[in-house]
Amino acid sequence: MTKRKQQQILTTAEAMFNRFGIKKTAVDDIARDARVAKATIYNYFGNKEGLLKALITQKIKQFESRLQNTADTAINPVDAIKSLIQEHIHLFTANPFINDPALQDNELKEELSQKEEHLLQKIVQQASVKGLLQSGDSNQIIHTLLLLLQGIESSIKSISFSMDLLNDSINFISETFFKTRAKEGHNGTA
């Protein structure tokens, strides 16, 4: 019952943070909509910041799980990068509260960036081993892709885009850094 009630509170808080923003959402409002006592929220999460931290931690874990699944099933680095960018966009479009100005200096957003950087390092390293890098500077590729993700993140609210156009752009960017096939004879692969 406790886990279910905590999830009910998190789901309600997420909907309200997304709709009204973090600053305009009060614990009283969350308690009312979640049909729990205000004290229950304080008991589970400590305060509004604790509730927000629990919600973002949950979103990061879900995101990380999807990214790991993507990395494990991607056929090549281009597909892995495309999936990473698409998951990043999905995270921020499905959860606009994560991009709320009230979270500008939040350590959890930094944790998200670190997880993405770690996955990018893994993708680029695998591509390098397979001879699939267009250039030899792995660090420059990683930093460029991280800047791209940050740019996408900061502009998600202010731009409209079609997924087809976005996919075309992701293909172009990915293919700028990665080859889709290794050169003949490289490490005995074709």
The reply to whether 133 and 163 lie within a common domain is yes
For residue 145, give the CATH number of its domain. 1.10.357.10
| Residue 14 belongs to a domain | yes
* pLDDT tens per residue, range 105-137: 667 677 778 888 888 888 888 888 888 887 768
The reply to whether 23 and 114 lie within a common domain is no
| Count of structural domains within the chain | 2
Mean pLDDT, residues 171-175 taken together: 78
Asked if residue 138 lies in contact with residue 117, where contact means CB atoms within 8 angstroms, the answer is no
* pLDDT tens per residue, range 41-94: 999 999 999 999 899 889 888 888 887 787 777 777 778 887 888 888 888 888
The reply to whether 31 and 107 lie within a common domain is no
The model scores a pTM over 0.75: no
* pLDDT tens per residue, range 25-34: 999 999 999 9
The reply to whether 66 and 105 lie within a common domain is yes
Residue 33 domain boundaries: 1-46
The reply to whether 97 and 72 lie within a common domain is yes
Residue among 50, 150, 125, 131 at smallest CA distance from 40: 50
